[in-house]
Amino acid sequence: MATAIRLAKAGHLVTVFEKNTYAGGKLSEMTLGKYRFDKGPSLLTMPQLIDELSVLAESNLSFKYTKLDTITHYFFEDGTRLEAKSDVKEFARELKLKLNEDEEHVLAHLKTSAFYYDTTADIFLKRSLHVLKNFFDLKTLKGILHSPRLNLFKNMHAQNAKRFKNKKTVQLFDRYATYNGSNPYKAPALLNIIPHLEFGFGAFIPKKGMHQISEHLVALALELGVSFKFDSPVEKIDLEGKKIKGLWSRAVFYPANYIVSDADMHVVYNKLLGPEFRPQKLLAQEKSSSAYVFFLGIKKEFKELGLHNILFSENYQEEFRCLFETDEPYSDPTIYINITSKYCPDDAPKNSENWFVMVNVPHNKSGEKIRYADTLRKQVFAKINRVLNTNIEDFIEEEAILDPYGIELQTSSVGGSLYGNSSNNKYAAFLRHANFNSRIKGLYFVGGSVHPGGGIPLCLMGANIVSNMISKN
């Protein structure tokens, strides 16, 4: 959608083909009775990238959001509870008070995170890594000069364990690997760039929930003349030699000079193009984790919970081993609870809350329906009851689930993997699919399965990369 806005503004005639009856892909919503839920991403960072699109479109449409004072509430099995304040000094004091962590170490870690971003964003995130001439400038030279300080050959956990003395602090910062579906015990230390997006730029929530982002982008696109075709899956991409000719949807051919795909790259190569174009090594790479989500309408308010809440596993390393080396989640999973009604009161009835309860699980290698569903539900509810000292089932008024099988059906993400390939490799940034196909003229890629990666900010950056490429061509 962001790419469509940029290309339409540049004067192109743009049509968006969507297999579902709604826009947004993972960034969509659902209702259960009187409860509304965001179905996918639940944290907004770098909202300036959305504001930038509004300015570009010269639109008067309003996109309002609130900055969070408290980003996340953390809960540990031994009863330890702490709040991650957006003010870094307050956050450091909280870790000193609750975990006896050195405040200066916390501030130094966040300073390192900011350094990672400032040094690498222009090189790795805001432009293609697959165009050689992009590396011949002062920004790249600066990055090369600072490379010894980027810990390129250390993993994320090792860096965190060396920095902090309390294993709970290490676990808290290791968690950021899950923001792109990776394993902190294998992912490069450079992923410690992620906390800067929250603490440096701030964490936010749109006034009407995360789905408001999708609604806003659709509205901007429509103002610029973009056409949307819903319930219109793309069935085939046609070529003239090695040049884009157009595509087929619902047995109708649509000519095109350019095609920009935000579908999982596996779909494009395995279903829409001939086998001769498949990048076998990329397609064979380890996939990111998936998710199992419980949507719960809770007829009670929990004052100890905020918008974002984490109930940590006691054995994080074993949890990640299960995520990437087995077919089932760990028996004591880390649980994320998102409650938008804390900020969007219309999302739940009075004195009630809408709980989005998510557990990281392995991507669904079998392609079959999930076998561990009943066991996982018991484990998740037992942990919630234990940590929050409650009996959550007494308060459930509505319930639905979304598992890796359902995620794949709805979004065509292979095995329900949320971010395409994992980043469990020190060369991960260079191993993502490029934003273009070097063998097919006019074929481009955006979205979570390609460069620069998954998550709202990176997808928006990818849209800018691709629209600039097409304009230059």
Q: d(Cα 370, Cα 367) in Å, to the nearest integer?
A: 9
pLDDT at 132 over 70: no
Lowest-confidence pick of 30-39, 276-285, 341-350: 276-285
pLDDT band at 407 (very low <50, low <70, confident <90, very high): very high
pLDDT at 349 over 60: yes
Share of the chain above pLDDT 70, in %: 94
Q: What is the pLDDT of residues 141-198, one digit of tens each?
A: 565 555 556 666 689 999 999 999 999 999 999 999 999 899 999 999 989 999 999 9
Q: How many CB atoms lie within 10 A of CB 52?
A: 15
- Where are the chain's structural domains? 290-415
DSSP secondary structure of 393-448: GGGEEEEEEE-HHHHHHHH--GGG-SSSB---STTHHHHSBPSB-TTSBTEEE-ST
Q: What pLDDT is recorded for position 140?
A: 60
Q: What is the pLDDT of residues 370-379, one digit of tens each?
A: 999 999 999 9
Rounded to an integer, the average pLDDT of 315-319 is 97
Look up the CATH architecture of domain 290-415: 2-Layer Sandwich (3.30)
- Give Cα separations from 397 to 6, 33, 295, 353 (angstroms): 43, 9, 11, 10
Question: Could you tell me the pTM of the whole model?
Answer: 0.94
Q: What is the pLDDT of residues 96-123, one digit of tens each?
A: 999 999 999 999 999 999 999 998 888 7
pLDDT at 255 over 80: yes
Share of the chain above pLDDT 90, in %: 84
Among the listed residues 352, 353, 350, the one whose alpha carbon sits nearest the alpha carbon of residue 339: 353
pLDDT at 464 over 60: yes
